[in-house]
Structure 1
Amino acid sequence: MSSNLPELSLAPPTLAAATTVKFNAGQFVSRRKDKVSKHYQIKSALGSGGYGDVFLATHKQSGAERAIKVIDKSKWNSRENEAVINEFNIVKDLDHPNLLKMYEMFEDHRHYYIITDIYKGGELFDEIEANGAFAEEDTAVLMMNVLSCVNYCHKKGIVHRDLKPENILLTSSKKLDDLKLIDFGLASYFKPGQRLKDSVGSAYYKAPEVLNEDYGEKCDVWTCGVICFILLAGYAPFDGDDDQQIEDEIRSGDFEFDDPIWDMISEDAKDFIEECLTYNEKHRPTAAEALTHPWLENTRKAGKKNFVKKEGDSIQNSLNNMANFHASSKLKQATLAFIASQLLLKEEKHAIDEVFRALDTNCDGKLTPDEIKDGYRDFFDKELSQEEVDTIFKRVNFRGTGAIDYSEFVVASMFEKNLLDDARLEAAFKNFDKDGDGFIDADNIRKVLSNFGSVGSKDSMDDYINTKIIGEFDEGGNGQISFTDFKRMMFQTVKEQPKRRGRRGSFLEAVDHGSLEAADGPEPEPLLRPGQKKRSGSIKDVTGAMEYMTIFDSAKEGSGSNPLFASRQRFASVRGSANSQKKKLMPTRTTTRDTVKAYDEKTRPPLTASYSGDLKLLAKKASSGGLLEEEDEDSD
């Protein structure tokens, strides 16, 4: 995608020149009208809500477990169905380790099928309800990651408008640095200085200016202050018996730290909340400014210090791969972007995510040249020259934006043979081999490029494909790339490149010799620090080391509980409790997507033959585990 075009667009961008095509992982998140069950095996129902049902499924190509949210078009009006498309177009282009990963969306005349990663740790709301107030250290980590998502979205011109604990998911490990922000159903694009008018969101979390129907993106910062208050105290700063009373309290702007729980909370944490809940929007900090608050800064520095001490070698391995990365071939770039987008397991990316967050010191979801320099200094005790930094960015920053995106970092960090296995390469090859004849030719590439806009005129496009994409690796000279050619391409650079050994020397050589460009000829003795072992550079090393990382782990028994609130009566004031006489329930959704009714292994119902079209379930399959099957819609 050309860097001078808007990053978020309903229609595919049109490339202005025939000299370059820039790929990124988000471009392979597609909206398609293929049969969903051709690609996914449905295993069981996960839950149901007002919007539809959620199923657990296995992706047939990668074997990964994913969630399929099924939305029945007939239940909603045209505006609400348009909102589903709007949410898809927003989320598919978001590229941040703490945002829910969306893979694709299928559609037929009855349903939308949205495919995402699945996270089994439940909602943050449920965690609060089960354990009461959070420990301050855990709350700081959580708020740092939520604000990082908010900051990233705001810089992309997106305001969420529905932040709340129900829209924050946890993984099964309950690690708070690995949370996922979800539900962009109320999100909106905005331009600098633009004022939004519609009052949306859940009552407890609305900013006063939202109630007045005249607001900007800082409404999300206010909501972060409310969430932080609830996490630390177990009750909401603005309360009432109904929405009107809650909104009246918000309009007053008055809240107090008058409960005994606050005696155990630091002044920095309370000051952070006060900053976020600044009544006058003009004086409220931006998300980027809120991230620089001493409460979060101190947490970030302490976490990084421990991380460097415990996991420095693992981060070195990831930086090894990044600096050794070289993909000048456009087809190679597209292949890596496709694998990163569609075929990597979230478990494999977990280690990469940890490293990315450690390097992203300003929490904006991108890596700047200064952050890369800092990373080398912290983890290698090496000062990179500007030329060396420029070399890394030229290799890794495909889009030429001046900052390495998350997906670009994933692509560069995963460049190892244990991740580029035959199964993934074959799947990527088939993705480009549109006619299934066993070769990638110009017509196949043209169909791929059609997803990213046209490349100038037809003549210039053909010349670009034949010279810049096909020609680099067409060993037979017949205008076709075989799978053998394709596989060889993935483990080498363009034809001329092997002659220049220096540029293909491993990162381990480069770092150990003190330069990113190892010279040709005999290898000099590596400049290793005393006691330092030569590094293997394998992503597996990162994964193995990271599995035992616990500095951000709040999953230990009782770590999120406060003995003063074991009865959870405080949090009952926010959402309501079965023991509460008033049964005062906090509204959990204001959109058409009601709270999902979750199922466990004992209560999960079997799949039934209650759907039509692409979701017609065969009754005889339901009793044996619920394989989702479709029948041809022409027979309906």
Structure 2
Amino acid sequence: MSLELRVGNRFRLGQKIGAGSFGEIFRGTNIQTGETVAIKLEQAKTRHPQLAFEARFYRILNAGGGVVGIPNILFYGVEGEFNVMVMDLLGPSLEDLFSFCDRKLSLKTTLMLAEQMIARIEFVHSKSVIHRDMKPDNFLMGTGKKGHHVYVVDFGLAKKYRDPRTHQHIPYKEGKSLTGTARYCSINTHLGIEQSRRDDLEGIGYILMYFLRGSLPWQGLKAHTKQEKVLSHIRAQADNARGDAVQGLSRGVCRVPQLHPRPALRGQAGLQLPETALPRALH
């Protein structure tokens, strides 16, 4: 008979379903309710533990409850050799769905996703927090009745950008090491400038370009040194910001003035990827 692994005396550990920036993620079950959950594990003796830090940010964001697009933390603690965080189980990531749709999304779908992604980050920023790791893998669809909601996850690299009480902004700094996923990082982040709200928004812009184009212009750049790679990346970003890389998106935004505010929050009419047969989570 196999040994049943439990967390916090309430959750049964199941199969591994993925990995985040600082830990592995497993499917689990609430023994009392039968509800399916996600369980994130991190070695307690890891050199730079992050899970307690991440759980704290989730609790800051979910203070008061009823928050759309931020998963709930159901448990955090230490179990044996692991730091453990239990949270709502969500659906596929936008990267998963992008791959499912042959790596290109329609303008309509991209705009609908954009509205929810920007709304999520606007809310995060309202809590004096910046995410610092914008990428399609960190935006997930909900499940069940919340299947049309986009969630933002993985706050392992998050940071407070201002004092929550006084709103005093952190100081401008240079010489910072790169934090986040290089492909979606802002030009300022590559230049070593302290990140702020603008960098999260620039990252979302690159994600939207990625969805529309199928790839980003700076993917696959060849460089012999780290410095050459950073300079090539910055040049490609700047060239495409001046060129035609975003013209399709800007023209599309101008052509769709009739989009109702927050359409994806109205229910079943929210997200649709019409080119393909999609998982129910998107309908």
User: Shorter-chain-normalised TM-score: which range?
Assistant: 0.7 to 0.9
Asked whether 1:254 is paired with 2:221, we answer no
Amino acid at match of 1:254: D
Equivalents in 2 of 1:94, 1:162: separation in Å? 16
1:170 offset after TM fit, Å?
2.2
Asked whether 1:199 is paired with 2:178, we answer yes
Asked whether 1:231 is paired with 2:211, we answer yes
What do the CA deviations read for 1:181-239 (whole angstroms, capped 9, x no partner)?
11111110112442354421111111111122223221111101101111111111433
Amino acid at match of 1:151: E
Residues 203 and 247 in structure 1, CA contact (< 8 A), matched pair in contact too: no
| Aligned residue in 1 for 2:159 | 188
Q: Which has the higher contact order (CA 8 A, sep 6+)?
A: 1
Structure 2: any 5+ residue segments left out of the alignment? 1-5, 163-167, 279-283
Asked whether 1:179 is paired with 2:150, we answer yes
| Aligned residue in 2 for 1:153 | 124
| Aligned residue in 2 for 1:125 | 95
Residues 105 and 115 in structure 1, CA contact (< 8 A), matched pair in contact too: yes
How many residues are matched?
252
Amino acid at match of 2:260: R
1:161 offset after TM fit, Å?
0.6
| SS of residue matched to 1:103 | strand
Percent of aligned pairs with the same amino acid: 19
Residues 107 and 252 in structure 2, CA contact (< 8 A), matched pair in contact too: no
Residues 176 and 554 in structure 1, CA contact (< 8 A), matched pair in contact too: no
**TM-score, normalised to structure 1's length?**
0.36
Equivalents in 2 of 1:177, 1:49: separation in Å? 23
Residues 175 and 552 in structure 1, CA contact (< 8 A), matched pair in contact too: no
1:71 offset after TM fit, Å?
1.2
CA RMSD in angstroms comes to: 3.2
Equivalents in 2 of 1:184, 1:298: separation in Å? 34
| Aligned residue in 2 for 1:210 | 189
Which structure has more helix as a fraction of its residues?
1
* Residues 38, 150 of structure 1: alpha-carbon distance in 2 compared, 3 angstrom cutoff: same
| Aligned residue in 2 for 1:92 | 59
| SS of residue matched to 2:37 | strand
Q: Which has the larger radius of gyration?
A: 1
* Residues 149, 57 of structure 1: alpha-carbon distance in 2 compared, 3 angstrom cutoff: same
State how 1:476-515 maps to structure 2 within 5 Å: none
| Aligned residue in 2 for 1:267 | 251
Equivalents in 2 of 1:64, 1:173: separation in Å? 12
Residues 112 and 271 in structure 2, CA contact (< 8 A), matched pair in contact too: no
* Residues 94, 298 of structure 1: alpha-carbon distance in 2 compared, 3 angstrom cutoff: farther
Residues 91 and 184 in structure 1, CA contact (< 8 A), matched pair in contact too: yes
Amino acid at match of 1:113: V
Residues 22 and 156 in structure 2, CA contact (< 8 A), matched pair in contact too: no
| Aligned residue in 1 for 2:165 | none
Equivalents in 1 of 2:8, 2:211: separation in Å? 41
State how 1:553-632 maps to structure 2 within 5 Å: 553-554=271-272, 558=276
Residues 42 and 55 in structure 1, CA contact (< 8 A), matched pair in contact too: yes
What do the CA deviations read for 1:20-77 (whole angstroms, capped 9, x no partner)?
xxxxxxxxxxxxxxx7251113343334678554322221333211011111123x21
**TM-score, normalised to structure 2's length?**
0.76
Equivalents in 2 of 1:217, 1:168: separation in Å? 17
* Residues 207, 296 of structure 1: alpha-carbon distance in 2 compared, 3 angstrom cutoff: farther
| Aligned residue in 2 for 1:116 | 87
